[in-house]
Amino acid sequence: MRRLLVSLTVILSFIISCQQEPTGPPEKVQPEVRTGGVYRAPLSWSPRTLDPAFSTDIYSVTLIQQVFDGLVQFDQNLNVVPALATSWMVSADGLVYTFNLRSNANFHNGRQVTAEDFVYSFTRILDPKEESSALSFFERLKGAAAYRNGESNEVSGLRALDAHTLEITINEPYAPFLPVLAMISSKVVPREEVERWGKDFGHHPVGTGAFRLESWEGNQIVLSANPDYHEGPPHLDRVVYTIYAGAQRQKILQEFLADRLEEAAVFGADREEMAQTTVYQFVRKPSLSLQFYGMNCTSAPLKDKRVRQALGWAINKEEIIREVFKDQFIPAETILPPGMTGYTPENAAYGYDPKRAKELLAKAGYGPSQKKLSLTLLSASKSNVAQKELAMVAAHLAAVGVELQIKYETDWPTFEATLNSGRFQLYRYFWSADIPDPDNFLNVICGSDSLYNFMRYSNPKVDRLLSQALVETDIIKRVRLYREAEGMILEDAPMIPFMYWVFESVFQPYVKGLEISALGSPYIPLKKIWLDKQ
């Protein structure tokens, strides 16, 4: 099992690893690391919570990554490396994981972290009263079912052998388990603080990370340096996040150019100019992400697979990406992005074919002499580029006889609540990998029981393939299972894969120590950043 995990990581790293290449004048002498200063960063929406067990959006992830630590973490090339665990062993059968914890790690309240804290944190995720978004990742722990059914007061697969030794036992081999322990939901939390704040712990988080929450008021969240961090204090004094609700991309860039932000994502025409900059650092890196249009498969007329397929054939992705995004991103015709283990270009589906779209719609009973098809799409972003993108989508659908209305909901919790309620037909969504594993796309987005399957898509054959892939220890066989499952999902067309995102941002010239992985901006370790304004 351990050899398998290492192989997966090495293969993935070989495929997607590429160092960011900032432009700008070269440095003749490597400057001495400086301490102090405030790093100012934008957030496109407000986080729903900073409680790791309940995080469901990348805005929460962005802050949780700085405030909390887990047993392990990802490095820049997505290798799993130590965090609060200094080392670990995996049994020959792949069922027992034993972690040795560092003895110099404390929570922000000053208490030392112990193995019992991880037992509590992971048990909390399994608590049926909590409804954690990470439940599916931990249900494979030995004794999880008995605990959730009330047959036991503890999870037998979680044991603190002593203060600094944690043993985790799972029921069956689970290929991505070690990467799962590096994801946001697997961070450790202190029981006394969770019990003190209850449901409001997410707004009063206490972790072990390099930064701790100083304030969260209005549209601003401030983190301050943790002077007792086990790796040593971070170089920055503070990190100030400003929330630009609704992804106000143009305003964010203007604030950056006015020297009021240290970073800004770039899009469209601005991106063309920034890519040529000699003043700022322009960084481009492929990311494991997908933007797609999800369809509510339980909402008429989208229950009809032919209608869903027709919508896929009707949209000219290449034209939209060329006109709106200036070819910044890559048109998507699969669910798994390039660089992800299991990515299969041969599974490509739904290129631009309006004639085929009309034929499918006619077979479903929609056309000039038939019923008129009107649909509504929900978008959380109301940025200029999002509006241009959706205007072109509406035009392409109108060309095949489909009327599309766009509804914007820029408050993320409200947008997410609407998706959970099922009161929608189509939605615009962006998914960024939590872990570098195909299960994190195919199962998490499309699995029948997944909390993120807002499409309400269900195919028992697909579920069986995804379940088999999770316990398969032969990487070749595992890839074949995912390839077959993805092909079935694309045939059923619960979503329209739109484009694979590429991380592109500008940073102020004095920002040093940047490390960016294929997991994108939420996983930038701000503890390594320092400012050289001299």
What pLDDT shows up at residue 1? 37
For residues 52 and 435, what is the distance between their CA atoms, to the nearest angstrom? 15
What pLDDT shows up at residue 30? 64
What pLDDT shows up at residue 474? 86
For residues 437 and 193, what is the distance between their CA atoms, to the nearest angstrom? 32
Helix (H, G, I), strand (E, B) or coil at 369: coil
Nearest in space to 424 (alpha carbons), one of 373, 458, 379, 381: 379
Nearest in space to 430 (alpha carbons), one of 328, 490, 499, 487: 499
Q: For the chain, report the end-to-end CA distance as a whole number of angstroms.
A: 50
What is the topology classification, in CATH, of domain 2-19+34-212+503-531?
Answer: Dipeptide-binding Protein; domain 1 (3.90.76)
Taking the CB of residue 329, how many other CB atoms lie within 10 A of it?
21
What pLDDT shows up at residue 190? 98
Triad 440, 444, 446: Cα angle to 5°: 120
Q: Which residues pair with 243 in a beta bridge?
A: 43
Taking the CB of residue 497, how many other CB atoms lie within 10 A of it?
22
For residues 193 and 191, what is the distance between their CA atoms, to the nearest angstrom? 5
Nearest in space to 168 (alpha carbons), one of 247, 237, 115: 115
Domain boundaries, the chain: 2-19+34-212+503-531, 289-500
Return per-residue pLDDT of the chain as tens, 534 residues: 333 333 334 334 433 444 444 455 455 556 788 899 999 999 988 898 999 999 878 899 999 999 999 999 999 999 999 999 999 999 999 999 999 999 999 999 999 999 999 999 999 999 999 888 888 889 999 999 999 999 999 999 999 999 999 999 999 988 899 999 999 999 999 999 999 999 999 999 999 999 999 999 999 999 999 999 999 999 999 999 999 987 688 899 999 999 999 999 987 778 878 888 889 999 998 899 999 999 999 999 999 999 999 999 999 999 999 999 888 899 999 999 998 989 999 999 899 999 999 999 999 999 888 899 999 999 999 888 899 999 999 999 999 999 999 999 988 889 999 999 999 999 999 998 888 999 999 999 999 988 899 999 999 999 999 999 988 888 899 999 999 999 999 999 999 999 998 889 999 999 999 999 999 888 999 999 999 987
Q: Which CATH superfamily is domain 289-500 in?
A: Dipeptide-binding Protein; Domain 3 (3.10.105.10)
CB 311 within 8 A of CB 47: no
